[in-house]
Amino acid sequence: MSAVDEVGGVAEAPPLRLAVIDLGAVRHNVQAVRALVGPAEVMAVVKANGYGHGAVQVARAAIDAGATWLGVADLDEALALRDAGLDVPVLAWLHGPQAGFTQAVLRSIDVGVSSVRQLDAIAATVAELRREVGAVARVQLKIDTGLGRNGACEAEWSALFGRAAELERSGEVVVTGLFSHLSNTSDEEDRAQLARLHSAVEQARVAGVVPPIIHLASTAGALRLPETRLSMVRLGIGMYGLSPFDDATSADLGLRPAMRVEGRVISVKRVPTGSAVSYGYTYRTSAESTLALVALGYADGIPRLGSNRAPVSIGGERFRVSGRIAMDQFVADVHDASVAVGDRVVLFGDPRDGHPSAEEWAEAAETINYEIVTRVGQRIERRYVS
Ligand SMILES: *Cc1c(COP(=O)(O)O)cnc(C)c1O
C-alpha cells in the first residue's frame, strides 16, 4: 500500500503494525542507573531479543551509555551479538544438556556454569581446541543462593569450586566471575541470599578461586537494595524503562519506557445499538456507535486476556478494546469520536506522552510488564529513533 503525497511523489505508508524503540530512552535509563549504582558496573541484559526491543540495537545504545557487559540466556544469543560486531564481554547463563561450547570459547563468551558437568564439558572443549589453538575458556560460576532455579546448590559448591580451581591451575579455564540471582520476595529474603553469596565467595577463595567480579542484583535489587550491587548489576527491565515494582511507576524511578506499540485504524463503521462485536459476542454496543478496526492480534503478542479490558489511545483519546482480541485484529468502540481510517492507535508507550502504559496492559492481561514487551511479535515492524 502506498499513499500519494501532495507533490505527486509516493510517500511511504505508515506500517500496519509498528513498535517504535527509543534508543535515547535506553541510553537515558542506563545512565540513570549507572549514576545510582556506581562504582558498580552495569551489565545490559539483552536476552530474548532485548525483551522484544532488538538485542543488537539496545546493546549498542547501552554500551554507548556506559554499560560494560552484555548478558543473555543462550549461547546463540551471545554469538549473535558477536556476529553483529559487539566485542565487549558477554555472559550467557542458560545451557541445554547438549550445549556445545566450542564457539563460546573461540569467541570469548563468558559461560555461566551451574554444575561440575558443565565445567567438565568446557574443559573437554578446551582440550579439543588446544590441538589447534591456545584456547582458554572464560567461565563464571553460577550459584543458587535460594531462587531454586539455575545455579549450583550449596551441596555442590565445594565440588564446583574444587574443579574450577583445578582447571584454572592447569590453564584451561579462567574464572571471571561468580554470581547468583535474587527472588525479589522481600528485602529480608534477598538479604539472606546475599549472605549465602558471601559465604560462597569465601568457600571459593578457600578452594583457591578468587573471581574478580561478584554479582547478584538485577533491576529490582540494583534500585532498592544497595548492598546487593556488589561489583556489577545486571540491568534488564529498567534499561527498557519499565518498573520491576508494583508500587512505583517508570516516572517514579526516573526511567523512560523505550517501546511504543501502535497500529492503524483500518476500517471504521457506524453501527446501531446492541451490535455484537467479535467472537463469542462478549461485547455489544450500548448505543449507536462507531467501531474502529485495528490489525493487531494475539499472533502479534497482543494478549487475548486484554479483551474488553485493555486501553488504546486514538487521537489522544482513550478507548477500550471491545470484544475478543483475535489472531490478527481487534475492535475498539470509539462511540461518537471522529476516528478515520489511517488514524494511529497507540496500545502502550510512555504515559508521560499521554499513552496507556505497558503496566495497564499487564494488569488487563493479568501478567507483568516484562511479558507485555517481550512477547511483541515478529510481524510488528521495529523502528529505531534516538
Ligand atoms: C533476566 C535476568 C536479569 C535481568 O532482570 P531484570 O529484572 O529484567 O532486570 C538478570 N539476571 C538474570 C540471571 C536474568 O535471567
Residues 6+ apart with CB under 8 A from 125: 100, 101, 102, 105, 135, 137
Residue 186, pLDDT score: 94
The 10s digit of each residue's pLDDT in 132-184 is: 777 899 999 999 999 999 999 999 999 999 999 999 999 999 999 999 999 99
Where residue 6 falls among pLDDT bands split at 50, 70, 90?
very low
Which of 218, 225, 233, 369 has most ligand 1 atoms within 8 Å of its beta carbon, as the pocket-test mutant? 218
Average pLDDT over residues 249-257: 98
Atom of ligand 1 nearest to the CA of 150: 13
Average pLDDT over residues 197-221: 98
370 flagged as catalytic? no
Average pLDDT over residues 382-386: 96
Where residue 195 falls among pLDDT bands split at 50, 70, 90?
very high
Which of 181, 184, 234, 250 has most ligand 1 atoms within 8 Å of its beta carbon, as the pocket-test mutant? 234
60-64, 80-84, 124-128, 368-372: which range is least confident on average? 124-128
Phi and psi (nearest 5°) for 238?
A: -65, -30
Percent with pLDDT over 90 in the chain:
94
Distance CA 347, CA 351 (A): 11
What is the pTM for the complete model shown? Answer: 0.95
Using CA atoms, how far residue 344 sits from 139, 213, 295, 377, in Å, is 48, 47, 11, 19
Q: Give the Cβ contact number of residue 212 at 10 Å.
A: 10
Residue 101 has pLDDT above 80, yes or no: yes
Residue 133, pLDDT score: 73
Judge if the beta carbon of residue 181 lies within 6 A of ligand 1.
Answer: yes
Residue 132, pLDDT score: 73
Give 49 Cα–ligand 1 centroid separation in angstroms. Answer: 13
The mean of the pLDDT values for the chain is 95
Residue nearest to atom 1 of ligand 1 (CA): 236
Residue 99, pLDDT score: 83
| Higher pLDDT pick, 44 / 3 | 44
Residue 249 has pLDDT above 80, yes or no: yes
Query: Angle at Cα 74 formed by Cα 94 and Cα 59, nearest 5°?
Result: 125
In the three-class reduction of DSSP (H, G, I as helix; E, B as strand; rest coil), residue 231 is classed as: coil
Judge if the beta carbon of residue 93 lies within 6 A of ligand 1.
Answer: yes
Residue 9 has pLDDT above 60, yes or no: no
Judge if the beta carbon of residue 69 lies within 6 A of ligand 1.
Answer: no
279 flagged as catalytic? yes
CB 23 within 8 A of CB 240: no
The 10s digit of each residue's pLDDT in 279-328 is: 999 999 999 999 999 999 999 999 999 999 999 999 999 999 999 999 99
Q: Of 142, 240, 269, 279, which one is the catalytic site residue?
A: 279
The 10s digit of each residue's pLDDT in 73-98 is: 999 999 999 999 999 999 999 999 88
Give 313 Cα–ligand 1 centroid separation in angstroms. Answer: 31
Where are the alpha helices (H) located in the chain, listed in sequence order?
23-37, 47-51, 55-64, 75-83, 102-106, 116-130, 154-169, 187-207, 219-224, 358-364, 369-374
Residue 317 identity: E
Atom of ligand 1 nearest to the CA of 73: 15
Residue 2, pLDDT score: 39
DSSP-derived secondary structure letter, 143: B
Of 326, 323, 283, which Cα lies nearest the Cα of 303? 326
Judge if the beta carbon of residue 236 lies within 6 A of ligand 1.
Answer: yes
Q: Give the Cβ contact number of residue 143 at 10 Å.
A: 31
Q: Give the DSSP letter string of 293-354.
A: EES--GGGT--GGGTTT-EEEETTEEEEB-S---SS-EEEEEET----TT-EEEEE--GGGT
| Burial label, 134 (beta-carbon count in 10 A; 0-12, 13-18, 19+) | exposed
Give 58 Cα–ligand 1 centroid separation in angstroms. Answer: 15
Judge if the beta carbon of residue 221 lies within 6 A of ligand 1.
Answer: no
All three cell numbers of 228, joined, read 546487593
Where residue 351 falls among pLDDT bands split at 50, 70, 90?
very high
Distance CA 44, CA 63 (A): 8
Residue 58 has pLDDT above 60, yes or no: yes
Judge if the beta carbon of residue 215 lies within 6 A of ligand 1.
Answer: no
The 10s digit of each residue's pLDDT in 282-291 is: 999 999 999 9
Of 368, 384, 383, 63, which Cα lies nearest the Cα of 242? 368
Residue 1 has pLDDT above 50, yes or no: no
- Cα-Cα-Cα-Cα torsion 235, 237, 241, 244, nearest 10 degrees, comes to -110
Place of cell 545512565: 31
Give 105 Cα–ligand 1 centroid separation in angstroms. Answer: 23
Residue 146 identity: G
Residue 381 has pLDDT above 60, yes or no: yes
Give 6 Cα–ligand 1 centroid separation in angstroms. Answer: 49
Judge if the beta carbon of residue 219 lies within 6 A of ligand 1.
Answer: yes
**Domain annotation for the chain: domains and CATH numbers:** 23-252 (3.20.20.10), 259-385 (2.40.37.10)
